[in-house]
Homo-oligomer: A and B are copies of this chain.
Amino acid sequence: MSYFDAASSLPLHPVARQALLASLDEGWADPARLHREGRRARMLLDAARETAAEAVGCRPDELTFTPSGTQALHTATAGALAGRRRTGHRLVVSAVEHSAVLHAAQAHERAGGTVTTVGVDRTGRLDAQEWRAALGAGCALACLQSANHEVGTVQPVEEAAQACAEAGVPLLVDAAQSLPWGPVPGDWSLLAGSAHKWGGPAGVGLLVVRKGVRFAPPGPADEREAGRAAGFENIPAIVAAAASLRAVRAEADAEAARLRALVDRIRSRVPELVPGCEVVGDPVRRLPHLVTFSCLYVDGEALLHALDAAGFSVSSGSSCTSGTLTPSHVLRAMGVLSEGNVRVSLPPGTDADEVERFLDVLPGAVAGVRAQAAAPAAAVPHAPAGRPEAPDTGTGRAAADEAGTDGAGLTLDARGKLCPLPVIELAKAIGTVPAGGLVRVLADDEAARLDIPAWCEMTGHTFEGREGVTFRVRAAP
């Protein structure tokens, strides 16, 4: 069994377990009480705050423990926006933030605020020019992740923070994915983290608000945690979180170098081993332990089950696995293939043998899922080594030439069919039209907007544009 879903959650680090057990007997009382049990709990809490603050690179009185990373982000967003409401009501976020940030942004919109979403390039990296432009008049807060949770791309936080400082806008950094690997650089104003992402227990998030940042905690008042996290403190878990962050950091550089090499191995081998596969995310400026790829003609959920049966636990940004009908907003913002999406995130301690076993198993798992879906084997392209990133064609409307081509070709009705079926049917149909011929695909699964253009790029056919649910594809000459 290999658990390759570290970016979701990690098992308890041995130091976390030890600290948790040790503090169960000392940390259960109310730290606000004056009796000895209360004072003992308070001492543990204070010590944990100092440890965590040192790892984050902030003052202890700037750091609050919250019940989760999600709540840290929700509180950070609402509190900073409320603190700056006299300046403006506009929130700036990158398009690839964690859903906790995007949900907070939606709540801000429902409450009458506005949100500016800044795009990313095909590797998932922030568009720095667009970011700078977005920080103009009325901007109350800007949010940027330190590194993306789905594709591993590291964001230019220092540069973004510099732009924020120049514009006088506080920057909130979602550091959930990068905090185990090191402190966040740059002159940020607020920061959020989550202990179970570094091997600490669930139930502990970090919220840092730098001194001088205007902040008005949302919700009902509460005297605990500087009024920034309502409810009784979970001190044994907090102690375990702080102790394990320190322990993980002590091992971080060596472990990062080791895992980075394993991920490089996956990045280079997967496209060679699996035809019709695209590795996404920045190949260099990335988290050490995380790699994501997508496979043409593959149902993400079926592939997850096949890999699970083969002993590998991974996750997926494909629409079919999330219980919703929309593919990952991250892959959508990047404009890359979403079907058959697999995120591999290696936990500390993963060895090379496990990775080799994964590479042994993957091609068969993909082939099996393709066979089940009756994918057209002949249509699976072999990715050339070093294939350059395809340019972003958007929906390709500019390339469409309605007048000249509408007369001929084939129309394929894939409405009501879920991804990857529309692409599979397109791949089968394209062989039946002559070189340069037109196929119109009617497809209402939202993933098709991403996957049909991506398929065209990967197979050499031309995506000519979309009108409503009609996609126009011209067969390669």
Q: Mark A234-250, 1 if CB is under 8 A from B, else 0.
A: 11110000000000000
Given the complex, which residues of B lie within 8 Å of A323, measured CB to CB? 32, 223
Indicate whether A70 sits within 8 Å of B314 (C-beta atoms), given known contacts A5-B35, A11-B28, A25-B11: no
- Judge whether B33 and A220 touch: CB under 8 Å: no
- Judge whether B232 and A194 touch: CB under 8 Å: yes
Number of A residues near B (Cβ < 8 Å) is 65
- Judge whether A34 and B74 touch: CB under 8 Å: no
Given the complex, which residues of B lie within 8 Å of A445, measured CB to CB? none
A230 within 8 A of B: yes
**Which A residues, 119 to 157, have Cβ-Cβ distances below 8 Å to chain B?**
none
**How far in angstroms is the closest Cβ of chain B from A168?**
26
Indicate whether A231 sits within 8 Å of B68 (C-beta atoms), given known contacts A5-B29, A201-B236, A237-B203: yes
A205 within 8 A of B: yes
- Judge whether A106 and B70 touch: CB under 8 Å: no
Given the complex, which residues of B lie within 8 Å of A321, measured CB to CB? 34
Indicate whether A222 sits within 8 Å of B100 (C-beta atoms), given known contacts A70-B232, A232-B68, A234-B237: yes
- Judge whether A68 and B70 touch: CB under 8 Å: no
**Which A residues, 180 to 200, have Cβ-Cβ distances below 8 Å to chain B?**
194, 196
- Judge whether B34 and A305 touch: CB under 8 Å: yes
**How far in angstroms is the closest Cβ of chain B from A112?**
13
CA distance A11 to B235 in the complex (A): 12
Residue of A11, A32, A71, A314 contacting most chain B CB atoms (<10 Å): A71
Which partner residue on chain B sits nearest A17 by CB separation? Answer: B24
**How far in angstroms is the closest Cβ of chain B from A120?**
22
- Judge whether A231 and B70 touch: CB under 8 Å: yes
Given the complex, which residues of B lie within 8 Å of A218, measured CB to CB? 219
A211 within 8 A of B: no
- Judge whether B74 and A220 touch: CB under 8 Å: yes
- Judge whether B234 and A201 touch: CB under 8 Å: yes
CA distance A37 to B5 in the complex (A): 10
Given the complex, which residues of B lie within 8 Å of A339, measured CB to CB? none
- Judge whether A202 and B234 touch: CB under 8 Å: yes
Which partner residue on chain B sits nearest A300 by CB separation? Answer: B34
Q: Mark A13-49, 1 if CB is under 8 A from B, else 0.
A: 0000100110011001110111111100000000000
Which partner residue on chain B sits nearest A24 by CB separation? Answer: B12
- Judge whether A313 and B201 touch: CB under 8 Å: no
CA distance A17 to B236 in the complex (A): 12
Given the complex, which residues of B lie within 8 Å of A219, measured CB to CB? 74, 78, 107, 218-219
A415 within 8 A of B: no
Which partner residue on chain B sits nearest A308 by CB separation? Answer: B35
- Judge whether B106 and A221 touch: CB under 8 Å: yes
- Judge whether A220 and B5 touch: CB under 8 Å: no
Given the complex, which residues of B lie within 8 Å of A301, measured CB to CB? 34
A69 within 8 A of B: yes
Given the complex, which residues of B lie within 8 Å of A196, measured CB to CB? 28, 232
- Judge whether A232 and B28 touch: CB under 8 Å: no
CA distance A29 to B11 in the complex (A): 7
Given the complex, which residues of B lie within 8 Å of A230, measured CB to CB? 68, 70-71, 74, 100, 103
- Judge whether B70 and A222 touch: CB under 8 Å: yes
**How far in angstroms is the closest Cβ of chain B from A43?**
15
Given the complex, which residues of B lie within 8 Å of A9, measured CB to CB? 28-30, 232
- Judge whether A103 and B222 touch: CB under 8 Å: yes
Given the complex, which residues of B lie within 8 Å of A274, measured CB to CB? none
**How far in angstroms is the closest Cβ of chain B from A292?**
15
Additional A-B contact list (14), CB under 8 Å, known A77-B220, A107-B220: A1-B36, A3-B35, A33-B313, A36-B313, A67-B71, A67-B203, A68-B232, A71-B231, A74-B220, A106-B221, A196-B232, A202-B233, A203-B203, A223-B323
Q: Can you list 9 residue pairs at the A/B interface with Cβ under 8 Å? A: A5-B33, A21-B21, A34-B305, A34-B321, A35-B315, A74-B220, A100-B230, A219-B219, A234-B234
Q: Which residues of A come within 8 Å of B, CB atoms?
A: 1, 3, 5, 8-12, 17, 20-21, 24-25, 28-30, 32-38, 67-71, 74, 77-78, 100, 103-104, 106-107, 194, 196, 201-203, 205, 218-223, 230-237, 301, 304-305, 308, 313-315, 321, 323
Q: Which 10 A-B pairs have the closest CB atoms?
A: A68-B231, A67-B67, A35-B313, A203-B234, A70-B231, A103-B220, A202-B234, A107-B220, A203-B203, A8-B30
